[in-house]
Amino acid sequence: MCRSQQAFLGREDMSSNAENMHHQRRWSRGSLWAWALVLAGGVLFSLSAGYLTYGKIAAQRLDNLIQSLQAPGPSTDLKAGPETLNGLGNANPGVPAGGSNDAPSPSTAGAYPGSMVPFSGWAEPWLAEAPLDDYSDLVQGFLPLSRGSLGGLGTMPAATRIVIPSIDVDAAVEDLALLDLGNALAYETPNKVVGHIPTTGAPGEVSEGWYFGHLQSPIRDEGSVFRDLPLIPDLLRKGERVFIILKSPQNSYLYEVFPDTVSLIPKDDLRITDAGDGVITLVTCYPEWTYDHRLIVTGRLVGSKPLF
């Protein structure tokens, strides 16, 4: 074989080797992309399966909260007015307003007198919890308010702080700004505060006031002021009294939550209403991560006192 033929065959071999290496590189890149797609698909599948699993858990929690809302609570016939404030110090709503908390005489006491035991322990009173907090110190100094003493919408200072002792809420209150989204208007979301809809009633006004707070806000980091609001139905079911205090620059206003003023609705059913009579309504999303329902907690105004 002549040198020219050998050189030609050598170039042919080199070209073949280069082509093989090119194919190998293409195959290697293709394999990486294929594995990347498989991995991404696995991650998406895991996320979807996890979300569906959590959805079932959240639905169960939703059912539990609904059952708690529907469970019979203590018998309370307390309404806004002087008769309510006369009985604010009673730990047991079954004791008549202004009545005595002393133990009954032996002639009238039964083996396990119901007035001495929280109703949740009536079946087995020896296992009953410690006496429920009656918040006697909390309600001292509050005086009754009649409907005629309430101001009209826009006549009273806005709330600056909200306190709910039974769930350890003590947070600032701010009016929410109305945002122009171009084709619609919407109120801003509260950021680490409880947000008040400014077109609704302020404390001491005859109109209903609406207050919104986050259950949680892990993405936007806007706080979780109302993270324990879902505990209220169970507290009421156990017989504990739940009070809300709204503070304005001049006065503190005391509200009480009753079993029939707590509800859970689909988020699309939420409407801003005005029940009047100085009530306030607290709203948060429920349950975590799905947020497809709204927990509604309404408090009835029972008294006020000056801050100075």
pLDDT, tens digit (0-9, with 9 covering 90-100), for 2-31: 555 555 445 555 555 556 555 555 556 667
Alpha-carbon distance 279 to 257, whole Å? Answer: 10
Backbone angles phi, psi at 283, to 5 degrees: -130, 135
Q: Tell me what pLDDT residue 36 has.
A: 77
State in Å, rounded, how far the first CA of the chain is from the last one.
Answer: 115
pLDDT of residue 70 exceeding 70, the answer is no
For residues 213-230, average pLDDT = 92
Of residues 116 and 170, the one with the higher pLDDT is: 170
For residue 287, say if its preceding peptide bond is cis, omega within 30 degrees of 0.
yes
Assess whether pLDDT exceeds 90 at residue 106.
Answer: no
Question: What mean pLDDT is predicted for residues 152-176?
Answer: 95
Q: How far is CA 259 from CA 131, 237, 279, 298, in A?
A: 20, 8, 15, 10
Looking at domain 71-96+131-306, does it have CATH number 2.40.260.10? yes
> What's the pLDDT score for residue 169?
96
pLDDT of residue 128: 47
Statement: residue 271 has pLDDT above 50:
yes
pLDDT at 65: 65
Rounded to 5 degrees, φ, ψ at 254 are: -105, 130
The arithmetic mean of pLDDT across residues 92-96, rounded, is: 35
- % of the chain beyond a pLDDT of 90: 40
Give 264's strand partners. 295
Residue type, 122: W
Report the chain's C-alpha Rg in angstroms. 32
- What pLDDT is stored for residue 289 in this prediction? 82
- Give the integer Cα–Cα distance in Å for 301 and 82: 11
Residue 239 near residue 93 (C-beta atoms within 8 A): yes
Checking if the pLDDT of 263 tops 60, the result is yes
| pLDDT(66) > 90 | no
Confidence of residue 299 (pLDDT cuts 50, 70, 90): very high
pLDDT category at 57 given cuts 50, 70, 90 is: low
| Token pair recorded at residue 128 | 């009953």
Measure the CA–CA gap between 81 and 76, rounded to whole angstroms.
14
Q: Which residue has the higher pLDDT, 11 or 65?
A: 65
pLDDT of residue 94 exceeding 60, the answer is no
pLDDT of residue 28: 65
Q: Cα(159)–Cα(204) distance, rounded to whole angstroms?
A: 10
Tell me what pLDDT residue 15 has: 57
Question: What confidence score (pLDDT) does residue 185 get?
Answer: 83
Domain ranges of the chain: 71-96+131-306
pTM score above 0.75: no
Say what the pLDDT of residue 101 is: 40
Which helix (H) or strand (E) is 107 found in, with range?
none
Least-confidence region, from 42-51, 217-226, 235-244: 42-51
